[in-house]
A and B are shown apart, each in its own frame.
Chain A
Amino acid sequence: MSTTPDFDSLAVGDALPELVKPPLDRLQLALYAGASSDYNPIHLDDDAARAGGLPGVIGHGMLSMAFLGQLLTGWVPQRQLRGFSARFVAMTALGDSVTCRGTVKAKHEVDGERRVELELSAVTQDGRQVLAGSASVALP
């Protein structure tokens, strides 16, 4: 396990270590549907997805956001996380491998603690952005 980053040694523009997730498969979508209580059939059933105008099942946006969360909790202990948001800008498909990235956008003090603001992004293997996000992290 890596050591926790500290406020003073980080600079605006620094990147977090990337997190590359394995390609999405039907098993993961099925497990995530059950585990997240999201039973929308467009994630499970090609017929339902096509009836909705999609080429086939798509990944859950919140699953991609869970991946981004893993980028954060792999970088700092979760209790240092103050805020985390994501915009769902594109869909993921079966076989997509999602890479999660983060960059330090700002350093400041809020509520008497030192924080960094991160810009986050989740992209597929062909460079398509699926999530645009941000996070606020308290650092020692």
Chain B
Amino acid sequence: MSHEEFVGREFPPFTVDVDSWRLRFFARAAGADDPLYTDPATARAAGYPALPAPPTMAYSLLMDAGQPFRVLEELGIDLRRAVHGEQAFTYHAPLCAGDTLTGVVRIADIYSKKGGALLFIVVDTTLRNQHDRPVVDQRSTVVVRQG
């Protein structure tokens, strides 16, 4: 099955709210012991308007919005054959509790390796905040076992 026709495809925007409770839960679950990520007073003292999201939290916001699976389903990928191969973040502005983010997902690249045994799907997602300011860009590479 050819997937090249999907490269460059952009999906309709989605929105996701960033909740203080959720950020605290994420920080604790990941064992982040810096109170910056769990105590709003510490966050404000550090110059943030509210609790900041730890560096990898933005990926979970995509999960909240169902985005990673939406793309794979659109491509007809069997999720059981797909693994997350690589994840990259480019940071533009703090991501904090109380933000409402708008995301846009675009398929950046699709290619195969090992004579077609592995399919690589590269997905870019931009997140902008309620002030229309870019917050964080993400690139997720999913590897799919073929055949």
Contact = CB atoms under 8 A, between A and B. Distances in A.
A30 B25 CA distance: 12
B8 interface: no
Contacts of A67: 30-31
A33 to B, nearest CB: 8
A32 B22 CA distance: 11
Interface string A79-116: 10111111110000000000000000000000000000
Contacts of B22: 35
Contacts of B63: 36-38
Q: Which of B60, B85, B94 has the most CB of A within 10 A?
A: B60
A31 B29 contact: yes
Nearest to A65: B56
Contacts of B91: 81-84
B46 A77 contact: yes
Interface in B77-103: 80, 83-91, 94
A22 interface: yes
A2 to B, nearest CB: 12
Contacts of A32: 29-30
A88 B56 CA distance: 14
B30 A63 contact: yes
Nearest to A33: B29
B85 A88 contact: yes
Interface string B48-71: 000010111001100110000000
A88 B84 CA distance: 7
B44 interface: no
Interface string A53-77: 0000000011101110110111001
B28 interface: yes
Given A73-B34, A78-B94, A88-B83, 8 more contacts: A28-B31, A34-B25, A61-B87, A70-B31, A73-B36, A74-B34, A83-B90, A87-B85
Interface of A: 21-22, 28, 31-32, 34-38, 52, 61-63, 65-67, 69-70, 72-74, 77-79, 81-88
4 closest A-B pairs by CB: A85-B88, A35-B29, A69-B55, A37-B63
29 contacts: A28-B29, A28-B31, A31-B29, A32-B29, A35-B22, A35-B26, A35-B29, A35-B30, A36-B26, A37-B64, A62-B60, A62-B87, A63-B30, A66-B30, A69-B55, A69-B56, A70-B30, A70-B31, A70-B32, A70-B54, A72-B55, A73-B36, A83-B90, A85-B88, A85-B89, A85-B139, A86-B87, A88-B83, A88-B86
Interface of B: 22, 25-26, 28-32, 34, 36, 46-47, 52, 54-56, 59-60, 63-64, 80, 83-91, 94, 139
